[in-house]
Amino acid sequence: MNPFNYHTPETQEEALALLHEHGDSAKLMAGGTALVIMMKQRLVVPETLISLHRLRGLTAVQETNGTLQLGALLTHRAAETAPLVRAHLPVLAETYRRVATVRIRNVATVGGALAHADPNQDPPVTLLALDAQVQLASVGGNRTVPLTDFFTDYYETMLRPDELLTAIRVPIPPSHTGSVYVKFLPRTADDYATVGVAATVQVDPATGTCQDCRIALGSVGSTPLRAQQAEAVVRGQRLTPELLREAGAVAQQQTDPISDTRGSADYKRAMAGVFVRRALEQAWQQALATPS
C-alpha cells in the first residue's frame, strides 16, 4: 500500500471542509473493509485519506413522519439489530444480515457500502425496492437524491468529490404491503449473490390486486437495477402464475450480467427471471396475509 496524508475529522463540518480542500485527490474511509482491499491492490491510491472513525454523530436510527432514517456511519451489524429497523423494515434488517460475515458487518457502514457502489452488494437492492433516498452534504449545502438516480456505473455514483453521504431515508411501507429480498447463493453463505432480487408489493385488500410494486436486482448489471418495465406489467393485476412468469421474462431483459465464477451471463440472466418470479410471489403472498 502507498502512503497517504491522513486526517481524522471529529465533526461533519471538519470532514466537509477537508473534502472541499482536497477534492478528487482524497478518499473518505468509513469502515474501510472495501477501501483497504482496493488500496492494498493499488486500485485506489489516494493522496489523502480522510478517516471518519472519530466523527461524532451519523449513527442514529430515527423514525419521523413515516420515514426511517439511518445515519451513514451506522454499521451493518447495528442496522441489522436496531429495534426500529426490525420493527418497521424487517426486510432491510434481514438484508443487512445477509451481507458477508459478522466480523465484516461489525465494521462496514451502511453509507460506505452505498458510496462504494459495488453492483454485487445486497442492501442497495432492497433499498431500491423500498424507494429509499440518500442525503448528501457538502460545504455548498445539502441535497436529497433518490437511490434510483444514485448509481451510475461499476463503483461509480453521482457523488461529487466534495460530497459526503450522511443518511439513508426509507419510507415505511403502507399497510397491505409485502417486502422480500431473495439471494441466490450457489456457493457459500458469505459470498456475493449470483443474483439478488428484492420486491415490494402493495395489494388492495378487497380484491387482492397489486396497487403498487417495485422490483430491484443486484449482481446482474453495472449497477443495482430497478426493473421498471416488469413493475408496469404487474401493477393493477391479480396474482397468477402466468403474470409472474411474464414479469420475470420482462425483468430479465433489463439485465446485463457478466460471466464470472458465480455463473455465466446466460445463466445469471435466466436465474434473474426465476428469482424475480419467486420474490414477487413471496412479497405478494406476504401482502395478502397482512391482517386488515
Q: Enumerate binding residues for another protein (CB under 8 A).
A: 1-6, 32-33, 36-37, 39-40, 49, 51, 53, 100-104, 106-107, 189-190
Q: Which is nearer to another protein, 39 or 70 (CB)?
A: 39
Distance CA 189, CA 187 (A): 7
Minimum CB–partner distance for residue 190 and another protein (Å): 6
- From the centroid of its chain, how far is CA 226? 11
The C-alpha cell at 280 is 414477487
The strand pair at 26-29 and 48-51 is best described as parallel
Q: Which is nearer to another protein, 100 or 265 (CB)?
A: 100
Residue 29 backbone zone (phi > 0: left; psi -120 to 50: alpha; other: beta): beta
Q: What angle do CA 97, 154, 53 make, to 5 degrees?
A: 55
Minimum CB–partner distance for residue 266 and another protein (Å): 28
Minimum CB–partner distance for residue 31 and another protein (Å): 9
Minimum CB–partner distance for residue 102 and another protein (Å): 6
Cell numbers 413522519: residue:
65
Minimum CB–partner distance for residue 40 and another protein (Å): 7
Minimum CB–partner distance for residue 250 and another protein (Å): 35
Q: Which is nearer to another protein, 84 or 104 (CB)?
A: 104
Q: Which is nearer to another protein, 189 or 206 (CB)?
A: 189
DSSP string, 43-66: S---SEEEE-TT--S---EEEETT
Minimum CB–partner distance for residue 189 and another protein (Å): 6
Helix (H) or strand (E) holding 104: helix 102-105
Q: Which is nearer to another protein, 49 or 203 (CB)?
A: 49
Q: Which is nearer to another protein, 39 or 217 (CB)?
A: 39
Q: Which is nearer to another protein, 78 or 280 (CB)?
A: 78
Residue type, 94: E
* Contact call for residues 75 and 31 (beta carbons, < 8 A): yes
Instruction: List 146's β-bridge partners, or say none.
Output: 133
* Contact call for residues 239 and 208 (beta carbons, < 8 A): yes
